[in-house]
Amino acid sequence: MVALDTQPMINTRHNAQRTQAHDADTVVSLRDLVKTFGSFRAVDNLSLNIRHGETVALLGPNGAGKTTTISMMLGLLAPDGGSASVLGMSPTAAVQSGRIGAMLQEGRLMPGARVGELLDFVLGLRVQGVMTRKQLVATAGLSGLERRSVDGLSGGQTQRLRFALAIASTPDILVLDEPTAAMDVEARHEFWASMREYASSGRTVLFATHYLEEAEMFASRVVIISHGRIVADGTVPELKRSVGYRTVRFHATQAHAKALSRLPGVTQVTTEHEQVTLKTTDADATVRALIASGAAWSDLDVQSATMDDVFMTLVGAGEHGEHDNHKTKHDQGNAEK
C-alpha cells in the first residue's frame, strides 16, 4: 500500500456555543470542571450543558476523562475546581430525588439474590415514578429471568438488569457508562431498541461509549473528549462536515500517486493494488479534474467523512494506539453482524 500526504489535516473546532449556552431547557450544567489524581489531570476545565430531551453520546479513548466527568456529574467524585448542577440541584440532591438514574461500569449486584427479588427491592425504594415490576421487566428485556439468580446471568443479561435498576424510578435523566460493553450484537440492538422507547417520552440520556456506530445511530448529539477536554460537540452530520474532506475511490490499473496528488482539493492519495483512495476538500473539483485528465478508471465512489475519520482527526495522532483498541471493537461488532 502507498499513501501520500500532500497537505496537513484540516483542524476543526467544537461547537462552543452549544457547550456554553445555558437556558431554561438546560438540565445538566458542568462549569469549568477540574479533577486531578496526583500529577494527572483527568478533567481539564471542562464545560458542558445538556438540554431536556437530548440523547448525548460521550465519545473518547480510554483515559480521556469520560468516566471521571460522569462521576462528578453524579456526585460520586468532588471536583477540584468548577461546579456541576443537575436539574437546578447539586448532583447528590438530584440522585437522592430519584430524578437521575445511572448505569455504571463499576459495582456488583447483590450476590445470591434473584432478579425479581432485586427488582422488587429497588422498586420499593423509589421516591417517584409509576413503573411496575411487569413494566420494568418488559422495558429492560428481562422476561423469563425473574427467578434466575443474579450470579448466573450472562454479561448481556447483567447489563440489562443494571439498566432496569437505573430506570426503576423513571428518572428524567439517565446516565449510561459503556452500557453495551458485555453484549453481543443482537443484545446491543435489543438494548438500544429499549433505550429508544424509554427516551421517546422526552427523557434526557447521556451515554459514554467506545462504539462509533452507537454514537452515530442513537445520539442526537456527540461530544468528543480528549485529555480531559471537549474537542468537538455537535450532531453527527455537523461533525462529519467539520472534518473538511470527502473520500473519492475508484479502480485504476495504472495509478500515479504524484499526478493524482496534484488534482484540485486532494490532501492524501492511497493506493492498494488497483484501489485508489483520494481524500479531498472539494470532491466536485477533484472528480471533474479526474475526468478531464483522461486517466483510465472505473467504479467511482464519493463518500463523506466517516465517524472513524472524525474521531482520528479530532482526537489526533497522539491517540493512535488508543484508537486501534477502539477500532478493534468497532470491527469486531461489524464482523459479528
Confidence of residue 330 (pLDDT cuts 50, 70, 90): very low
Residue 14 has pLDDT above 80, yes or no: no
Residue 83 gets the label, from left (phi > 0), alpha (psi -120 to 50) or beta, of beta
H/E stretch holding 290 reads helix 283-293
Question: Which cell numbers hold the place of 192?
Answer: 438500544
pLDDT band at 149 (very low <50, low <70, confident <90, very high): very high
pLDDT band at 35 (very low <50, low <70, confident <90, very high): very high
The CA distance from 266 to 335, in Å, is 31
| Tens of pLDDT, residues 39-54 | 999 999 999 999 999 9
Query: Does residue 13 register a pLDDT over 50?
Result: no
pLDDT digits (tens, 9 = 90+) for 206-223: 999 888 888 999 999 999
Q: Tell me what the mean pLDDT of segment 288-309 comes to.
A: 89
Q: Which pLDDT band holds residue 309 (cuts at 50, 70, 90)?
A: confident
Q: How far is CA 48 from CA 65, 79, 189, in A?
A: 13, 14, 28
Query: Does residue 195 surpass a pLDDT of 80?
Result: yes
Higher pLDDT, 332 or 26: 26
Q: Give me the mean pLDDT over the 88-94 stretch.
A: 95
Which pLDDT does position 11 carry in this prediction? 39
Are 205 and 195 spatial neighbours (Cβ–Cβ below 8 Å)?
A: yes
- What dotted CATH number matches 245-304? 3.30.70.980
Q: Does 245-304 match 16-240 at the fold level? A: no
Q: Is residue 323 scored above 60 in pLDDT?
A: no
Position 15 scores a pLDDT of 47
Domain ranges across the chain: 16-240, 245-304
Task: Provide the pLDDT for residue 148.
Answer: 94
Pull the grid cell for residue 278. 483520494
pLDDT tens-digit profile of 229-279?
999 999 998 898 888 788 999 999 887 888 899 999 999 999 888 899 999
Q: How many CB atoms lie within 10 A of CB 287?
A: 20
User: Would the pLDDT of 225 be above 80?
Assistant: yes
Instruction: Tell the CATH superfamily of the 16-240 domain.
Output: P-loop containing nucleotide triphosphate hydrolases (3.40.50.300)
pLDDT at 22: 55
Q: Per the structure block, which three cell numbers stand in for 110?
A: 447483590
Residue 129: per-residue pLDDT: 58
Pairing between β-strand 246-251 and β-strand 204-209 as defined by DSSP bridges: unpaired
What was the pLDDT predicted at 187?
Answer: 83
